[in-house]
Amino acid sequence: MNEPEAKRRAAPRVRRLVLATVVIWVGTIWLTWAITRGDYHRTFPSAWWFWGIAFVASWTIGAYYSLNEHIDGPELEEVKLSDLRFAKQKQKPVLTARPAPTMEELDGRWHAVLGAYGAFLSDIVQIADMPLLADPTCPPTEKFQEQMVLTEDAHSDAVRNPRKTPQYEAAVKRLEKDWEAARGHAKRKGFSTLEDAEQDAIRRAQSLLDIALDENAFAPERRAAMHK
């Protein structure tokens, strides 16, 4: 707000302050006249004191409100009610549709799971650590292997009919989820579900494998571990 605008808005308040002071002053004179009944000579000192106190009090009250509104305080701008309602409205986030994955992307995710499972089956060390992941009777592993078959069928359907690509995408998502569940379950259980004799055999095999794969071990020791 510029200075002329501030003066224009402050003018009505100043006029009201002056008018209120005049009214209080006139009322004080009239009240003094009524109390003294015109005998100013006898009550002259007390009357002037009364007038002075009233005058100072009126100006003090007026100055307080004037200073409280205009000195070192921000000027309030007038805001329309319609603008206030509009400001309260929350802007809705713009949602952009995520593009559907292509067949190549889905095939890549499918083959990634198959590759991870194939690498596990070809690694005797991992099988020894997580035997349940190679056990088709384990419920999470059985569910994962069944989903592999269903995903392959969904892939064939999507190749023949591109409209069935969403079903193929859903099958890939379930396959990834079942793979993580089966792998996590087998990793938590380890070989604790096997018989004691089988657990001892696995521990011995792991120890021999560690020696055979240790490049810092002596060659005769490594060969002996491989033969055992």
**Count of domains forming the chain:** 2
Angle between helices 103-121 and 165-189 (to 10 degrees): 20
| 174 and 111 both lie in a single domain | yes
Identify whether 85 is part of a domain: no
Question: Which residues touch 190 (CB under 8 Å, ≥6 apart)?
Answer: 129, 130
Taking CA atoms, 91 is separated from 82, 86, 94, 96, in Å, by 16, 10, 9, 15
| 127 and 189 both lie in a single domain | yes
| 57 and 122 both lie in a single domain | no
Token pair of 145, please?
A: 């292997």
Identify whether 161 is part of a domain: yes
| 54 and 113 both lie in a single domain | no
Segments forming the whole domain that contains residue 45: 3-73
What's the whole-number mean pLDDT along residues 198-204?
Answer: 70
Nearest to 109 by CA among 155, 149, 142, 163: 155
Identify whether 226 is part of a domain: no
Q: What is the pLDDT of residue 210?
A: 72
What's the whole-number mean pLDDT along residues 6-26?
Answer: 63
Identify whether 94 is part of a domain: no
Q: What is the pLDDT of residue 72?
A: 46
Q: What is the pLDDT of residue 100?
A: 84
| 65 and 27 both lie in a single domain | yes
| 41 and 115 both lie in a single domain | no
